[in-house]
Amino acid sequence: MKFVAAEILPDETPPPPPPRQWNNARLTGNILMLFWMLAGIGLVWFLYSAWSPEKFDRYGIKYWTGLQTTLSLVGISIVLGAIISLPIAFGRLSKNKIIGALSFSYVYIFRGTPLLVQVFLIYYGLGTFRAELDALGIWIFFRDAWNCAILAFTLNTAAYQAEILRGAIQSVPKGQWEGADSLGIPRWKTFRKIILPQALIVALRPYGNEIILMIKGSAIVALVTVYDLMGETRRAYSRTFDFQMYIWAAVFYFVIVEALRNIWNWLEKRLTRHLKR
Amino acid sequence: MTSWELLSFGDTGWGDEIASGVVITISLALATLPLGLLIGFLVALAKQSQEWSLRTAADIYTTIFRGLPELLTLFLVYFGMQIAVQQTIALMGLDISFEFNSFVAGMIALGLVFSSYASEVFLSAFRAIPQGQYEGGFALGIRKKTVMRLIIFPQLVRIALPGLANLWMLLLKDTALVSAIGLADIVRQTGIAARVTKQAFLFYGVSFLLFLILALLSSIVIARIEAFSEKGDAR
């Protein structure tokens, strides 16, 4: 006789999952989610009710130019900072003690002080030496808040980027250098073709964070009369005393930062797909 | 006047004004630290909860306050709270003019930013602690809260310390922003001195150096604390 399991044990529907218990975590979580939902609805409702075509006509375009100012400020300083960061990073890696100490001091000084104070020191501080700078013919450069902001941001981000680069280069195992050496590959070619590609993958995430930090940090140029997104917001608020101006700025900054973060996540996933196992 | 006279304490010099600015900056940073640490820890706890809604609520918190510029957060808190309180007063039919304290506004805004970063530091520290540490505690019949306090927390602090030290440096630098809402910190005081005396480079240079000194002092203290926390490490 043949026994088939189906004859002995008829199909049974699995028991329903036990009802989810109400505990403290669930209660707190639901209350907090309710709070965020109400805050979100309140935000949309506030922006909707405060909407006025007249203000949009007058300040909408200002926000757009402010946004462009912010993005170009950050773009230019990141690129210039990347160039300046190269010698500093090599200085940090150098075996020469003096060069090492000099580049360490540079990095420490620019990372240890607020960006705001650096901008103030360059823009307002250098005004003290106006006569001397005029004699040198470079006062025209320092007279403009935009130039001073670019200079301060570049020097600042160069220090951070140098540290990112140094950490990334040091994270490449020594065997990579030695392997290339034993194959008789010149040092510079080893660096460019073997070390750097591996280091840049490691540096990808910190670089993304640095760009986001710069976008957020760039808001302080509004305090030295550069009309970036924050500067236009402050100007619009001081004229209208309408709080929606700040809310809109928050929305714009938030959207930029989140978009960049997601693009960077995608980029990292794409560029490291050969490392997935 | 020479630089030394300008920086001297007393009626003619700006030394005492700047010194009071240093006190404000340090006390703001020190006042924000426990607030930020506490909220950051609670948010980290929420983030690793099994409850979906609690996790999401905590994630929203971090995403918002890490996505906004610190200066904007400061303005939102300062002006937003002022408006909110004024409207509440008007609703209650009272006639009081209300000025929001810029120290408190700075503390709240910096605390929001600090805590959202700190929650990430705590979260990664939580993940670095093996599950067996909890299970071992439960197996001995120790209560959940006691396991947290006596077994997890001491390890957590040690792992989170370098990250938190970084955040302290960030916080110290971010305090410079409160000068924008009128708090008489280092930047504000040196700025006033620079405008009055027309010696901008001297005074902004002083504030630059003061922040550098604060950073150096912090590095020394942090190195001490780290050495202390590593004393019990197995070698």
Angle between helices B153-174 and B102-128 (to 10 degrees): 140
CA atoms within 13 A on the CB side of A20: 9
Task: Answer whether residue A5 is part of any domain.
Answer: no
Does any domain span residue A247?
Answer: yes
Partners of B191 on chain A (C-beta within 8 Å) are 120, 124
Range of the domain at B81: 3-229
Structure confidence at residue B118 (pLDDT) = 96
DSSP secondary structure of A213-268: HHHHHGGGGGGGT--SHHHHHHHHHHHH--THHHHHHHHHHHHHHHHHHHHHHHHH
Q: What is the pLDDT of residue A4?
A: 59
Check residue B63 and give its pLDDT: 95
Tell me what pLDDT residue A249 has: 94
User: What pLDDT score does A140 carry?
Assistant: 85
Chain B residue numbers touching A114 (CB-CB < 8 A)? 173-177, 187, 211
For chain A, what is the domain count? 1
pLDDT of the residue at A103? 95
Is A270 buried (19+), middle (13-18) or exposed (0-12) by CB count in 10 A?
exposed
Q: Please name the member of A33, A128, A219 whose beta carbon is closest to the beta carbon of B69.
A: A219
The pLDDT of residue B235: 58
Chain A residue numbers touching B201 (CB-CB < 8 A): 121, 125-129
**Using one digit for the tens of pLDDT, what is the confidence trace for A220-262?**
999 998 999 999 999 999 998 889 999 999 999 999 999 999 9
DSSP B74-94: HHHHHHHHHHHHHHHHHHTT-
Bigger pLDDT: B14 vs A99? A99
B32 domain-assigned = yes
Q: CB neighbours of A106 closer than 8 A, spacing ≥ 6?
A: A88, A91, A159, A162
pLDDT at A11 over 90: no
Examine residue A20 and state whether it is found in any structural domain, yes or no: no
Kindly provide the b/e burial profile for residues A87-96, where b requires at least 16 CB atoms within 10 angstroms of the residue's own CB.
ebbbbbeeee
Could you give the CA distance from residue A199 to residue A142 in angstroms, rounded to a whole number? 36
In a domain, residue A43? The reply is no
In a domain, A135, yes or no: yes
Single-letter code of the amino acid located at A28: T
B 14-33 near A (Cβ less than 8 A): none
Task: Report pLDDT digits (tens) over A266-276.
Answer: 999 999 888 88
DSSP B49: -
Q: Which of B52, B66, B72 sits opposite A219 (nearest CB)?
A: B72
A145 found inside a domain: yes
B72 contacts A230? CB cut-off 8 A? yes
Find all residues with CB under 8 Å of A217, minimum gap 6, and list them: A115, A153, B69, B70
Q: Among all residues of chain B, which has the CA nearest to that of A215?
A: B69
Q: Are A112 and B216 a contacting pair, CB within 8 Å?
A: yes
Q: Which residue has the higher pLDDT, B139 or A135?
A: B139
Burial class of residue B154 in the structure, from the number of CB atoms within 10 Å of its CB (0-12 exposed, 13-18 middle, 19+ buried): exposed
Per the CB < 8 Å rule, is A246 touching B69? Answer: no
Per-residue pLDDT at B224: 93
The answer to whether position B235 is within a domain reads no
Q: What is the pLDDT of residue B85?
A: 85
Chain B: nearest CA to A182, how far in angstroms? 36
pLDDT in tens, A23-76: 888 899 999 999 999 999 999 999 999 888 888 888 999 999 999 999 999 999
Q: Do A112 and B200 touch (CB under 8 A)?
A: no
- For residues A235 and A62, the answer to whether their CB atoms sit within 8 Å is yes
Closest CA to A237 of B75, B201, B143, B59: B75
User: Best mutation site among A22, A43, A113 for testing chain B: the one with the most B CBs within 10 Å?
Assistant: A113
Q: With cut-offs at 50, 70 and 90, classify the pLDDT of residue A204.
A: very high
Mutate to test the interface with B, among A121, A241, A256, A257 (most CBs of B within 10 A): A121
Nearest of B234, B59, B40, B55 to residue B155 by alpha carbon: B234
Opening angle at CA A273, ends A270 and A275, nearest 5: 140
| Pairs from A104-107 (Cβ < 8 Å, separation ≥ 24) | A106/A159, A106/A162, A107/A159, A107/A162, A107/A163
Closest CB to A29 among B51, B176, B202: B51
Q: What is the structure's pLDDT at B40?
A: 96
Contact state of B201 with A215 under an 8 Å Cβ cutoff = no
- Are A112 and B195 in contact by the 8 Å Cβ rule? The answer is no
Which alpha helices (H) appear in A94-222, and where do they start and end? 97-112, 115-123, 130-136, 139-143, 145-171, 174-182, 187-190, 196-217
Domain count, chain B: 1
Please tell me the distance in Å from A192's CA to the nearest CA on chain B: 32
Q: Do A243 and B83 touch (CB under 8 A)?
A: yes
- Taking CB atoms and an 8 Å cutoff, what residues of chain A touch B57? 29, 32-33, 35-36
**Residue B76 contacts residue A46 (beta carbons within 8 Å):** no
Domain that holds residue A175: 62-275
Is B53 close to A32, i.e. CB distance below 8 A? yes
Burial of A131 (0-12, 13-18, 19+ CB in 10 A): exposed
Lowest mean pLDDT among A184-193, A198-207, B72-81, B95-104: B95-104
List CB contacts (< 8 A) between B18 and chain A.
none
Report the pLDDT value the prediction gives residue A7, as an integer from 0 to 100. 66
Is residue A26 included in any domain, yes or no? no
Facing residue for A32 by CB, picked from B54, B169, B179? B54
B57 to chain A, any CB pair closer than 8 A? The answer is: yes
Instruction: For residue B96, give the 3-state DSSP assignment.
Output: coil
Picking from B36, B112, B7, the residue whose alpha carbon sits closest to that of residue B67 is B112
- For the segment A146-169, the average pLDDT, to the nearest whole number, is 95
Extract the residue ranges of chain B whose pLDDT is less than 50: none
pLDDT at residue B91, rounded to an integer: 84
High-pLDDT (> 70) share of chain A, %: 97
Amino acid at A201: I
User: For residue B111, is it within any domain?
Assistant: yes
Alpha-carbon distance of B109 to B72, in angstroms, equals 9
Distance CA B37, CA B31 (A): 11
Phi/psi region, residue A11 (left: phi>0; alpha: psi -120 to 50; beta: rest), is beta
Q: Which residue's entry shows tokens 């049974």?
A: A12
The mean per-residue pLDDT over the stretch A192-214 comes to 93
- CATH classification of the domain holding B106: 1.10.3720.10
Residue B234 lies in a domain: no
Average pLDDT of chain A is 91
pLDDT computed for residue A174 by the predictor: 93
For an interface test with A, give the residue of B145, B187, B208 to mutate (most A CBs within 10 A).
B208
Interface test with B, best of A23, A117, A220 (most B CBs within 10 A): A117
Under the banding of pLDDT at 50, 70 and 90, the label for residue A165 is very high
* CATH for A96: 1.10.3720.10
A4: in domain = no
pLDDT of residue A97: 94
Interface test with A, best of B196, B197, B201 (most A CBs within 10 A): B201
Sort B200 into a burial class: Cβ within 10 Å, 0-12 / 13-18 / 19+. buried
As given in the structure block, the two tokens for residue B171 are 């916080």
Contact status of B48 with chain A (Cβ, < 8 Å): no
